[in-house]
Structure 1
Amino acid sequence: MAQLVQFDRIGGPEVLTLREVALHDPGAGEVRIRVDAIGLNRAEIMYREGAYFYQPVFPSTLGYEAAGVIEAVGEGVRGFAAGDLVAVVPAFLQNEYGTYGTSVVLPAAAVVPRPAQVDAVTAAAVWMAYITAYGPLAESGEVRPGDHVLITAASSSVGLAAIQVARHIGAIPIATTRGANKKQRLLDAGAADVIVTDNEDLPARIAEITGGTGVRLALDPIAGPGVETLAKGIAPGGHLVVYGALDSRTTPLPNAQSFPALNTSTYTLFEITGDPERLHRAVMFINAGLASGSFVPLVDKTFDLPDIAEAHRYMETNGQVGKIVVTVTHDDTTS
């Protein structure tokens, strides 16, 4: 038997239930993983609430990230064997697969090797954040050494990863946060400058920091009307990349008559994880950064799997700086 987190209706954290389920053998192209740690993401809260870009199929599980050990491989799977240390990247739909459990079946295409020196909690904190940052900052080729990049909502796991990725490629990260209480932690995390948007004029501060040139790229998970303010701080010919929708209001396209000419686009990490060649490049880039010490995921807090609802409540407070990870304890009834 295994334990699996499921929910039967859209709602708050209280809808999440830890249930005993039968162990399943992996099918063709699948693997079964004994889960040791699970990385939480804002997407899972939105999915649970029915606010994600696809809807749950009940009873639904959830979860995009995990780290653990291969237990079994299905037909046609190459490159993995029982006992291999692995991590899970977001390369599937949560209404088909999920990582919230003690033992889960997942597509082999969503599994990557985990270096022996990388522990499960660290590995569970890596892939959503660093692949999301990798795409616009490294894979795109739009950011060059010496360029300023603006990272909004920078205390999130993606924001912190983006600071490190920007540093790794020689760019200069400028972080934003709403309140001053997170400013020093962002500086300690590697931000060259931090703009506290509740107290400071964003375009004016960007101009001051960059000497009036503006940033080469702004990476934003918020969207909504605030993108017009971001656009004022982007250099002519620069890029505004929106990768989330934390603000549910309509997101306007910045008006060319009001702002310098710039490129605007949306982005999801599925552009990387859904393409084997691009995913391979991302894995090589990120594992190299982990091995060199350039990439050090910041884990804000850990919870035990039975406390999954409490972990979701904590994420909803928006008080964390870094990743929330759920750890999994195994005994004879769950492994």
Structure 2
Amino acid sequence: MARIVRFHCHGGPEVLRIEEVEVSPPGPGEVRIRVKALGLNRAEASMRNGTYIETPALPSGLGLEAAGIVEALGEGVDGFATGDAVSIIPPRSIARWPAYGELITVPVELVVKHPPSLGFEAAAATWMQYLTAYGALVDTARLGRNDFVVVTAASSSVGLAAIQIAKKLGAIPVAVTRTSSKKAALLDAGAADVVASQEEDLEARLKEIAPQGVRVVFDAVGGPIFRPLAAAMSRGGILIEYGGLSPEPTPFPLFDVLAKTLTLRGYLVHEITGDAARLEAAKRFILDGLASGALRPVIARTFPFDKIVEAHRFLESGEQFGKIVVTV
């Protein structure tokens, strides 16, 4: 028996329950992991409250990221041994391969031996954020040296990962956050400049920072800031949208798109995780960055497994700076 987290109806954090279930042995091509730490993501809160792109059958498990120790191997699994310290690539389906549990079973292709120096908490805070930022900035936008890149929701784990990746590439990351309360922390995290979108004129500030225009925008918010972001872009720039945090409508900046021949592109991390060759390139880039210290997961706060409801409440508060981790 093992404890897992499930929800039987959609709703707020209070619908999450810790339940004991029988865990089946791993099947062919699968690995069973005794979990030591979980990384929390907004996608999980969205699925819990019924607004995610995946609609699970209820009751449903939850979770995209975990790190722990290999406990058992299914038939045909090579390259791993019991006792290995591993972390997991986020699966395409949260419901099919949920990570919130003391024991989880996942396909071997999602399992990674992370650097031992990383530790379980940092390993559980690694793959979603860095794969998301890598796929958008490196694989899609081809971000390069001296490129200006605007990162919204900059204090999120993905935002901080994007800042670190931009710095690794020699680009110039400009952080956009709601208020100036996190400005000092974002500058310390590597942002070249910070714009508080609720306190400053976003378009004017971005044009002041990058007079020739911003070539890449990496946006998780949408809503009213879409228009000033587009207005501050350079000719031929690309705006990559990977979220929709704003509850307000997102206007289409028609004249900026036409005048500057902009590319506006939706993006999901599944583009990388679903392509073996691209995923291997991403893993090499990320593992190299972790080894060199250029990439360093930022953990906002840790919670024990029994406090998963409180952890989800903190996730939805917007107060965190970096990743929320749950220890098991």
Kept after mapping to 2: 8 A contact 1:10/1:50: yes
Q: Is the counterpart of residue 56 in structure 1 residue 56 in structure 2?
A: yes
Correspondence for 1:16: 16
Correspondence for 2:299: 299
Q: Is the counterpart of residue 132 in structure 1 residue 101 in structure 2?
A: no
SS in 2 for 1:83: coil
Correspondence for 1:244: 243
User: 2-side partners of 1:252 and 1:200: how far apart?
Assistant: 20
Q: Is the counterpart of residue 7 in structure 1 residue 7 in structure 2?
A: yes
Correspondence for 1:44: 44
Q: Which deviates more, 88-97 or 59-68? A: 88-97
Q: Over residues 220-250 of structure 1, what are the superposed CA-to-partner deviations in whole Å (9 max), with x where a residue is unaligned?
A: 0112343122101111101000001112444
* Runs of 4 or more consecutive aligned structure 1 residues displaced over 3 Å after TM superposition: 248-253, 256-259
TM superposition score normalised by structure 2: 0.97
Q: Residues 292 and 16 of structure 1: is their aligned pair in 2 closer, same or farther, counting only changes over 3 Å?
A: same
Instruction: Give the aligned residue type for 1:12.
Output: G
Correspondence for 2:230: 231
Q: Which deviates more, 14-23 or 137-146? A: 137-146
Correspondence for 2:27: 27
Q: Over residues 62-107 of structure 1, what are the superposed CA-to-partner deviations in whole Å (9 max), with x where a residue is unaligned?
A: 0000111111111222222211111111123012111101111112
Unaligned stretches of 5+ residues in structure 2: none
Kept after mapping to 1: 8 A contact 2:146/2:171: yes
Q: Over residues 175-223 of structure 1, what are the superposed CA-to-partner deviations in whole Å (9 max), with x where a residue is unaligned?
A: 011111111110010000000111111111111111x111110000112
Kept after mapping to 2: 8 A contact 1:38/1:99: yes
User: 2-side partners of 1:18 and 1:327: how far apart?
Assistant: 14
User: 2-side partners of 1:223 and 1:77: how far apart?
Assistant: 42
Correspondence for 1:331: none
User: 2-side partners of 1:315 and 1:16: how far apart?
Assistant: 14
Correspondence for 1:222: 221
Instruction: Give the aligned residue type for 2:245.
Output: L
Instruction: Give the aligned residue type for 2:95.
Output: N
SS in 1 for 2:216: strand
User: 2-side partners of 1:237 and 1:46: how far apart?
Assistant: 33
Kept after mapping to 2: 8 A contact 1:179/1:196: yes
Kept after mapping to 1: 8 A contact 2:86/2:112: yes
Unaligned stretches of 5+ residues in structure 1: 329-335
Correspondence for 1:286: 286
Q: Is the counterpart of residue 74 in structure 1 residue 74 in structure 2?
A: yes
Instruction: Give the aligned residue type for 1:280.
Output: E
Kept after mapping to 2: 8 A contact 1:217/1:234: yes
Q: Residues 79 and 253 of structure 1: is their aligned pair in 2 closer, same or farther, counting only changes over 3 Å?
A: farther
Pairwise CA distance, 1:56: 2.0
Kept after mapping to 1: 8 A contact 2:62/2:94: yes
SS in 2 for 1:117: helix
User: 1-side partners of 2:102 and 2:199: how far apart?
Assistant: 45
Kept after mapping to 2: 8 A contact 1:48/1:56: no
For 1:1-335, list aligned pairs within 5 A.
1-140=1-140, 142-210=142-210, 212-256=211-255, 259-328=259-328
Q: Over the residues paired in the alignment, what is the CA RMSD in angstroms?
A: 1.3
User: 2-side partners of 1:52 and 1:278: how far apart?
Assistant: 25
TM superposition score normalised by structure 1: 0.95
Kept after mapping to 1: 8 A contact 2:2/2:102: yes
Instruction: Give the aligned residue type for 1:175.
Output: A
Kept after mapping to 1: 8 A contact 2:39/2:323: yes
Q: Which deviates more, 33-42 or 17-26? A: 17-26
Kept after mapping to 2: 8 A contact 1:137/1:143: yes
Kept after mapping to 2: 8 A contact 1:152/1:176: yes
Matched pairs, number: 327
User: 1-side partners of 2:175 and 2:256: how far apart?
Assistant: 27
User: 2-side partners of 1:207 and 1:245: how far apart?
Assistant: 24
Q: Which has the higher helix share?
A: 2
Pairwise CA distance, 1:23: 2.4
Pairwise CA distance, 1:257: 5.8
* Identical amino acids, percent of aligned pairs: 50
Instruction: Give the aligned residue type for 1:73.
Output: L
User: 1-side partners of 2:65 and 2:199: how far apart?
Assistant: 35
Kept after mapping to 2: 8 A contact 1:69/1:83: yes
User: 2-side partners of 1:156 and 1:175: how far apart?
Assistant: 11
Instruction: Give the aligned residue type for 1:207.
Output: K
User: 1-side partners of 2:177 and 2:301: how far apart?
Assistant: 20
Pairwise CA distance, 1:29: 2.0
SS in 1 for 2:117: coil
